[in-house]
């Protein structure tokens, strides 16, 4: 497969073909996402929780994000890769945001960055995009602002708040975003926003009227222990955690019984050498 670029994403959008995006946080998850043909890979700050076990995304550092971005970039040779600017690394000023975005390109080896926020982030988005770094917007539910939003809540459930999501999407488009993530927005609202925009919308919990979809890989492959909370919009397409558990349990049992390693897993030594050695 050829490398996906802004041009190929643009032609997918123009033709009405949905754009596929998945998160990845390391070499194997990047590799499998790329092999599955995902057009876009997001090194999302959700890795704070799903890969690092942190309480929420506010804890993850730029340096940590960069390590994960680099590992994904080594694996994903076709997908267009976006790195998520973590909380605290872009809000202070457009200059701070551009500095961080440049680190993501130079050290993180990604092709674009994502940042959360609407109209208030327009000058920041403009600063980064005019420096030649593509920016993916993110409006609706913005998890980095969960404390201000009163938790992980659906946005745009009233006419007034739906207008706010639309205005935010229009503002980040005008500021130069090449696409925008719509998170946790009623499907009808996301569909209408998609019609009003001239850049792709990438939905997560926003219905099937968006220009594309994104999901957190660990969630959709079922790579987590039973009992974990999953948002309503996640569809579990696999049960990777149970598969891994079964494999490791089988290895443990065969190690205890000495069924593993079997002769085919061992290295031979010529008989004459062995006889000499045993003397």
Catalytic residues: 183
Q: Which of residues 183-222 bind ligand KIV (CB under 6 A)?
A: 183, 204, 214, 216
Which residue in the set 22, 45, 75, 178 belongs to the binding site for ligand KIV (CB under 6 A)? 45
Minimum CB distance to Na ion smaller for 54 or for 192 = 54
Contacts of 19 (CB under 8 A, 6+ apart): 9, 12, 13, 39, 40, 179, 200, 202, 211, 212, 213
Q: Which stretch binds Na ion (CB under 5 A): 77-85, 101-109, 168-176, 177-185?
A: 77-85
**Total Cβ atoms within 10 A of residue 32:** 17
CA distance 275 to 130: 74
Q: Does 84 bind ligand KIV (CB under 6 A)?
A: yes
Locate the DSSP E strands across the chain: 19-23, 40-43, 80-84, 112-114, 135-140, 179-183, 201-204, 212-215
Which residue in the set 44, 86, 108, 200 belongs to the binding site for Na ion (CB under 5 A)? 44
Phi, psi angles (nearest 5°) of residue 216: -80, 125
Q: Which does 135 bind (CB under 5 to 8 A by kind): ligand KIV, Na ion, none?
A: none
Q: Which stretch binds ligand KIV (CB under 6 A): 9-17, 41-49, 85-93, 99-107?
A: 41-49
The size of the interface with ligand KIV (CB under 6 A), counted in residues, is: 11
Which residue in the set 30, 33, 44, 156 belongs to the binding site for ligand KIV (CB under 6 A)? 44
Question: Do the Cβ atoms of 180 and 172 come closer than 8 Å?
Answer: yes
The minimum distance between CB 11 and Na ion, in angstroms, equals: 26
**H or E segment to which residue 147 belongs:** helix 146-149
State the Cα angle at 190 between 188 and 196, rounded to 5°: 105
Structure tokens at 67: 């390590």
Which residue in the set 45, 168, 183, 219 belongs to the binding site for Na ion (CB under 5 A)? 45
Minimum CB distance to ligand KIV smaller for 20 or for 23 = 23
Which residue in the set 34, 39, 84, 219 belongs to the binding site for Na ion (CB under 5 A)? 84
The minimum distance between CB 57 and Na ion, in angstroms, equals: 6
Q: Which stretch binds ligand KIV (CB under 6 A): 38-46, 91-99, 100-108, 269-277?
A: 38-46
**How many residues can be counted in the chain?**
279
Burial zone of 231 (CB within 10 Å; 0-12 exposed, 13-18 middle, 19+ buried): middle
CA distance 149 to 165: 13
Which residue in the set 4, 12, 19, 23 belongs to the binding site for ligand KIV (CB under 6 A)? 23
Q: Which stretch binds ligand KIV (CB under 6 A): 43-51, 70-78, 99-107, 250-258?
A: 43-51
Minimum CB distance to ligand KIV smaller for 151 or for 263 = 151
Q: CA end-to-end span of the chain, whole Å? A: 58
Interface ranges with ligand KIV (CB under 6 A): 23, 42, 44-46, 84, 181, 183, 204, 214, 216
Interface ranges with Na ion (CB under 5 A): 44-45, 84
């Amino acid at each position: 497969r050829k490398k996906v670029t802004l041009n190929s994403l643009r032609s997918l959008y123009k033709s009405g073909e949905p754009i596929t995006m998945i998160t990845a946080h390391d070499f194997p998850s990047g590799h499998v996402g790329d092999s599955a043909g995902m057009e876009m890979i997001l090194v999302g700050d959700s890795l704070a929780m799903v890969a690092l076990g942190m309480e929420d995304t506010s804890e993850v550092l730029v340096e940590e994000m960069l390590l994960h971005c680099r590992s994904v970039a080594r694996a994903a040779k076709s997908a267009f890769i976006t790195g998520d600017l973590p909380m605290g690394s872009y809000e202070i000023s457009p200059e701070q945001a551009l500095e961080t975005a440049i680190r993501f390109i130079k050290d993180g080896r990604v092709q674009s960055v994502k940042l959360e926020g609407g109209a208030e982030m327009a000058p920041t988005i403009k600063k980064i995009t005019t420096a030649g770094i593509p920016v993916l917007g993110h409006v609706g539910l913005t998890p980095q602002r969960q404390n201000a939003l009163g938790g992980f809540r659906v946005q745009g459930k009233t006419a007034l708040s739906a207008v706010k999501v639309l205005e935010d999407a229009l503002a980040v488009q005008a500021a130069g975003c090449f696409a925008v993530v719509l998170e946790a927005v009623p499907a009808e609202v996301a569909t209408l926003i998609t019609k009003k925009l001239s850049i792709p919308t990438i939905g997560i919990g926003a219905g099937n009227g968006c220009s594309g979809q994104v999901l957190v890989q660990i969630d959709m492959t079922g790579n987590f222990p039973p009992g974990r909370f999953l948002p309503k919009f996640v569809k579990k397409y696999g049960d990777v955690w149970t598969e891994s558990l079964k494999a490791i349990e089988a290895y443990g049992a065969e190690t205890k019984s000495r069924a593993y390693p079997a002769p085919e897993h061992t290295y031979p030594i010529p008989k004459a050498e062995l006889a000499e050695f045993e003397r």
